[in-house]
Amino acid sequence: MEQILIVEDDPALGRGLVLALEGAERACTLASDCAGACKALAASSFALAIFDINLPDGSGLTLLEETRAAGGPPVLLLTANDLETDIVTGLTLGADDYITKPFSLAVLRARVDAALRRNTPAPAPAVFEQDGFRFDFARLDFTADGRPLQLSQTEQRLLRLLVENRGHTLPRDTLLDRIWTDGAEYVDENALSVTVGRLRRKLGKNAPIKTVYGVGYTWAVEP
């Protein structure tokens, strides 16, 4: 189920956006200001966020900048401002797309679909190779510079999630839910830190697993 965060202070427009975008495989969370958006982003993982620029307690551009710094989801900006400087500022700060009001809901849906397609993580191939690492997920054969790796099932699940989402930050809560599928609510959060540490040691000093402090972890890729 794809989760979309909508930050819009106009109640009628916000409800209209939710109705236009929700579906069998897509759910929306609606926030009316920056504070509500920050709370939602901290509580859940979203595939896409839509920010109005003019919000009652701040600017959607500031919210965009904070979201990008925290490794959050791709962002589509929604605003009545159509000045070129606003568009350039939004895109420079990392917005994935920009739509000015008034707009067609059909066009908005098309833009949202396109943004989600662009940001869908590439699946891990049967054999993944990068910088001396070779991971054969089908045969469960893992090596680093030709050195065989003995990985537990938990470490294998963590490694596959990181590789499948390479270049994207995975929040800690998402990793807990997807690694310990039989009851993440009963798993001590420290278990994730321990598992990441073990996997890093086994991969060696060149392990591209990076910590995004306060958020989660990512498998770094070359720019």
Domain ranges of the chain: 2-118, 127-219
Residue 208: name the closest of 107, 139, 135 by CA.
135
Could you give the 3-state DSSP secondary structure of residue 200? helix
**pLDDT score for 113:** 86
**pLDDT score for 69:** 79
Q: Is the pLDDT of residue 186 over 60?
A: no
Range with the lowest mean pLDDT among 120-129, 161-170, 210-219?
A: 120-129
**pLDDT score for 184:** 42
Helix ranges restricted to H, the chain: 11-21, 34-43, 60-69, 84-92, 105-118, 153-164, 172-179, 190-203
| Residues listed for the chain | 223
Residue 95: name the closest of 80, 107, 78 by CA.
78
Q: Is the pLDDT of residue 217 over 70?
A: yes
Determine the Cα–Cα distance for residues 34 and 57; give it in Å rounded to an integer. 6
CATH class label, 2-118 = alpha beta
**pLDDT score for 11:** 93
In Å, how far are 55, 63, 122 from 58, measured between CA atoms?
Answer: 5, 8, 35
> Across residues 139-151, what is the average pLDDT?
93
How much is the CA Rg of the chain, to the nearest whole Å?
Answer: 19
> Across residues 78-106, what is the average pLDDT?
80
Q: Is the pLDDT of residue 115 over 90?
A: no
pLDDT tens sequence across 25-80 = 889 999 999 999 999 998 888 989 999 998 999 999 999 988 887 778 889 998 87
Share the mean pLDDT of the chain.
86
Q: With bands split at pLDDT 50, 70 and 90, how would you rate the model's confidence at 123?
A: low
**pLDDT score for 124:** 55
Fold of 127-219: Arc Repressor Mutant, subunit A (1.10.10)
In Å, how far are 146, 190, 202, 205 from 199, measured between CA atoms?
Answer: 16, 14, 5, 11
Q: Is the pLDDT of residue 185 over 80?
A: no
Render the burial of 94-126: b for 16+ CB within 10 Å, e for the rest: ebbbbbeeeeeeeebeebbeebbeeeeeeebee
